[in-house]
Amino acid sequence: MKKLFICILATVGLFTACGQKPDHETDEFTTQSGKTVRIHALMHSSIRIEYDGREIEIDPCSKLRDRTVDYAALPKADIILVTHEHFDHYDEAAIRQLRKEDSQLVMNRRCVEMFGEGSAMDNGDRLELANDITVEAVPAYNTTEGHLQFHPKGRDNGYILTLDGLRIYIAGDTEDIPEMETVKNIDIAFLPCNQPYTMTPEQLIHAAKMVRPKVLFPYHYGETNVKGIPAQLQGEGIDVRIRHYE
């Protein structure tokens, strides 16, 4: 049976354009063949992953409220995943700054139309990006009456990113939808928590119990108080880690 090895938490400082030096928390994991995966909490829904000499960026966004990420100070991306077109997920300038000639850009269909290029994925699609990297597009949508317009069913993506057997579920902007029952064998999950756009803490707890990841990062939480989530999932066998994904 595959084992997930969880290593020490470290912090790294990255300069922003305004000269400040915020800490981006970094969690390390080891894949089934011993490769290191480093996950950097940039902000909100923006995630940087280092894996076997490759750079993967999820929903890069340069500025949100009073927080910034200086993508010019980061390495160019080998892979960029974008879940949907909202400004806090799709930042065209950040994507262009991160791209290099051979970058693989994977987005939902609407973002590909807006950007003018890239690989469009619909819910249910699967792509092999390298012999040890695959990505699956899974549903992400609202179910609460009055909120359906934010993320209509079938438009946006969540992703299951598999790195040498290590399965990472990036849920995107979604509520606790029934399709999460089929998201299985997840090592690391990113679940969003900020109504009216995504989930309440109670919905996130329900989603976590459906997915049952080994490690859970609540993300995209803005001003929502997520500090009580670890206690509410105590005894479920889920390692809940609160990072600066406001």
- Are the C-beta atoms of 169 and 192 separated by less than 8 Å? no
Q: What pLDDT was estimated at residue 16?
A: 33
| Residue 164, helix vs strand vs coil | coil
Q: Is residue 187 part of a domain?
A: yes
CB 172 within 8 A of CB 156: yes
Cβ–Cβ under 8 Å, residues 43 and 59: no
54 bridge partner residues: 51
Question: Which residue is listed with tokens 């987005």?
Answer: 107
Report the pLDDT value the prediction gives residue 23, as an integer from 0 to 100: 61
Number of structural domains (the chain) is 1
Sequence-ordered alpha helix ranges (H) in 32-165: 92-98, 109-115
pLDDT of residue 158: 98
Pairing of strands 23-30, 79-82: unpaired
* Structure-block tokens of residue 223: 């001003």
In a domain, 200, yes or no: yes
Question: Domain containing 102 — which CATH number?
Answer: 3.60.15.10
Q: Which residues contact 147 (CB under 8 A, 6 or more apart)?
A: 175, 195, 196, 197
CA angle (139, 102, 163) in 5-degree steps: 50
Strands 23-30, 5-13: pairing is antiparallel
Closest CA to 3 of 26, 47, 33: 33
9 inside domain? yes
So what's the pLDDT on residue 7? 41
**pLDDT tens for each residue of 138-177:** 999 999 999 988 899 999 999 999 999 999 999 999 999 9
Report residue 243 as tokens: 């990072």
Model pLDDT, residue 15: 32
**Is the CB of residue 173 less than 8 Å from the CB of residue 86?**
yes
Residue for token pair 């806090």: 88
Tens digit of pLDDT per residue, the chain (246 long)?
444 444 433 333 333 333 333 468 999 999 999 999 999 999 999 999 999 999 999 999 999 998 999 999 999 999 999 999 998 999 999 999 999 999 999 999 999 999 999 999 999 999 999 999 999 999 999 999 999 888 999 999 999 999 999 999 999 999 999 999 999 999 999 999 998 899 999 999 999 999 999 999 999 999 999 999 999 999 999 999 999 999
> pTM value?
0.91
- Amino acid identity of residue 19, one-letter, is G
Q: Which residue has the tokens 């803005």?
A: 222
What pLDDT, on a 0 to 100 scale, did the predictor assign at position 195? 85
Look at residue 245 and tell me if it is in a domain.
no
217 domain residue, yes or no = yes
d(CA 224, CA 113): 32
Give the C-alpha separation, 106 to 172, whole Å.
14
Examine residue 246 and state whether it is found in any structural domain, yes or no. no
Domain range for 9 is 5-16+23-240
Nearest to 171 by CA among 157, 188, 181: 157
